[in-house]
């Protein structure tokens, strides 16, 4: 016969768990994953660290649960609905890329998670990566692959470069001199220049790779 978890004014299991999870979030936003130390988390949460082991089994348990309960990519799904697709996904793609760029610049936590993913091997992060790939796979296979036909993979490769560029530029702007290739990534002008570049590249990619296009000779002469 299991007993209900304490939910009083002083002893409240659920509230304490939440405090831990919130502390993890706060640390991740400000100091990044390297700041996730037991003592610090407990101090910030205002709950004894012993409870971390009671509730989550271990520090890793807490961290993994935190990752699992967050939805870092919620913005994409939200944007998916309201753009009609009758241009092979051209405007839709632009919207996705550009909104990703803005979203990431505002969301320090996601920046830290991206960095974390590049720095540490962790099952829960890997799961996050896999889910992201799946979600992307749906977009490609349903929207752009049919449009680009034999050039589908070429569009995917372009997408990879653009998304990767968007990720890196945002992380770079946070931690480095903010000037990259002579573009000041912290000013509106600089950020707009990047957005224009992305828009331009997508336009050109649709122009040059669309299945019934006639001018794709340049593509073949690589490497």
Partner DNA sequence: AAAACAAGACACTATATGGTGTTTAAAATT
Partner DNA sequence: AATTTTAAACACCATATAGTGTCTTGTTTT
Q: In this structure, are residues 62 and 20 in contact, taking their beta carbons and an 8 Å threshold? A: yes
Q: Which does 127 bind (CB under 5 to 8 A by kind): DNA, a copy of itself, none?
A: none
Interaction of residue 20 with a copy of itself, rule CB under 8 A: no
Interaction of residue 35 with a copy of itself, rule CB under 8 A: no
Contacts of 57 (CB under 8 A, 6+ apart): none
Nearer to a copy of itself, 12 or 99 (CB): 99
- And the tokens for 40? 């610090």
Residues in 154-193 that interact with a copy of itself by CB under 8 A: 154, 156-169, 171-172, 174-177, 179-183, 185, 192-193
- The burial class, CB within 10 Å (0-12 / 13-18 / 19+), for 179 is middle
Q: How far is the CB of 175 from DNA (least distance, A)?
A: 20
Q: In this structure, are residues 166 and 97 in contact, taking their beta carbons and an 8 Å threshold? A: yes
Interaction of residue 60 with a copy of itself, rule CB under 8 A: no
Q: In this structure, are residues 72 and 127 in contact, taking their beta carbons and an 8 Å threshold? A: no
Binding mask 79-118 for a copy of itself (x = CB under 8 A): -------------------x----------------x-xx
């Amino acid at each position: 016969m299991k007993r209900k978890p304490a939910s009083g004014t002083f002893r409240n299991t659920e509230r304490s768990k939440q405090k831990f999870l919130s502390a993890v979030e706060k640390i991740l936003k400000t100091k990044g994953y390297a700041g996730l130390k037991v003592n610090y988390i407990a101090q910030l949460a205002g709950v004894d660290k012993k409870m971390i082991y009671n509730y989550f089994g271990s520090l890793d348990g807490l961290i993994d649960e935190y990752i699992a309960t967050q939805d870092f990519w919620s913005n994409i799904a939200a944007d998916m609905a309201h753009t009609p697709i009758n241009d092979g996904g051209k405007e839709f793609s632009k919207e996705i890329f550009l909104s990703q760029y803005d979203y990431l610049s505002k969301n320090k936590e996601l920046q830290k998670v991206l960095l974390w993913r590049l720095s540490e091997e962790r099952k829960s992060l890997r799961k996050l990566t896999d889910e992201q790939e799946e979600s992307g796979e749906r977009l490609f296979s349903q929207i752009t692959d049919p449009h680009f036909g034999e050039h589908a993979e070429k569009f995917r490769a372009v997408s990879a470069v653009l998304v990767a560029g968007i990720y890196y530029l945002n992380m770079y702007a946070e931690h480095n001199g903010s000037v990259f290739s002579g573009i000041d990534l912290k000013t509106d002008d600089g950020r707009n220049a990047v957005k224009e570049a992305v828009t331009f590249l997508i336009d050109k990619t649709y122009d040059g790779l669309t299945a019934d296009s006639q001018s794709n000779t340049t593509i073949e002469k690589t490497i």
